[in-house]
Amino acid sequence: MRVVSTLLAVAFCFTAGTVFADPARKALPPTIAIIIDDMGHSLVEGERLANLDQPLTLAFLPYRPHTDSLARLAYKQHKEIMLHAPMANTRNYGLGPGGLTPEMDEQSMATTLRRALQSIPHVQGVNNHMGSLLTQQLQPMDWVMKELFRYPVYFIDSRTIASSVAGDVAAAYRIPTMTRDVFLDHEQTEEFVDRQFKLLIKRAKENGSAIGIGHPHKVTVDYLEKHLPKLDEQGIAIATVSGLWAMRNGNREMFAEGEKQAIRPAFAKKD
């Protein structure tokens, strides 16, 4: 069981290592969490991200060539691990293995999602990969959250479309949930990433915290390597997603002991 004291020790830190384990004694600074989606394809950029000093959260696509090895490396390097669950989109882009589509019935969707979770070592959370079609649909989201409710995982709505109901359904199932605030790199230039990163910091200053989502593009990794170490001097903290959730929820644990069933690692099928 993940405990809040561990989250705080690992996640609520400036990049120089200052820990805020007692918010009553010292107010937490504006805090960001950065999720890197689409992990598992690129070994080089994946290793660079895993080896960064800061507590990033890495979201892995299921069954990709480097998903297993990179997730294990990232966990050893104190990163938080998520399943980046492929969901149907409005543009009919291919989902690859582990995809969830409107044509599935409840059992197929639950089995596919369960096997994807089992394929990700040390998984603690889930967010949607694409999903602009599926996340608008109440019944599929109900089936997804009904399955996720069984396990000690949180759900982050990547919010790939404004009319997403995914986060609301997760909340209805009492799954710990939050929503993406800023996409960092849907244009792959340093100037764009810089503008979005500054917007993420602005949102954190306005609201106390904010969640950004990026991808393992070289330009993004180059930018993070350069700019994450500078957060301390700006008075900005960086946390894992679990750490940020704890900060927003009075430092309470996400799950009580024995409340959820463990995710049992398996060599899962790609149905």
Model-level pTM?
0.89
Look at residue 5 in the predicted model and tell me its pLDDT: 33
User: What is the Cα–Cα distance from 99 to 61, expressed in whole angstroms?
Assistant: 10
What burial class does residue 179 get, using C-beta atoms within 10 Å of its C-beta: 0-12 exposed, 13-18 middle, 19+ buried? middle
Look at residue 86 in the predicted model and tell me its pLDDT: 98
User: What is the Cα–Cα distance from 204 to 202, expressed in whole angstroms?
Assistant: 5
What burial class does residue 221 get, using C-beta atoms within 10 Å of its C-beta: 0-12 exposed, 13-18 middle, 19+ buried? buried
Look at residue 267 in the predicted model and tell me its pLDDT: 54
Q: Which CATH number fits domain 31-249: 3.10.20.310, 3.40.50.300, 3.40.630.190, 3.20.20.370?
A: 3.20.20.370
Q: Would you kindly state where each structural domain of the chain is located, as residue ranges?
A: 31-249
Q: Evaluate the CA torsion angle 208, 128, 167, 262 in order and state its sign.
A: negative
Look at residue 201 in the predicted model and tell me its pLDDT: 98
129 and 82 in contact (C-beta within 8 Å)? no
Paired residues of 156 in beta bridges: 127, 178
Look at residue 28 in the predicted model and tell me its pLDDT: 87
pLDDT tens for the chain, 271 residues long, are 333 333 333 344 433 333 344 444 358 899 999 999 999 999 999 999 999 999 999 999 999 999 999 999 999 999 999 999 999 999 999 999 999 999 999 999 999 999 999 999 999 999 999 999 999 999 999 999 999 999 999 999 999 999 999 999 999 999 999 999 999 999 999 999 999 999 999 999 999 999 999 999 999 999 999 999 999 999 999 999 999 999 999 999 999 988 999 998 875 444 4
4 closest CA partner among 258, 259, 239: 239
83 and 123 in contact (C-beta within 8 Å)? yes
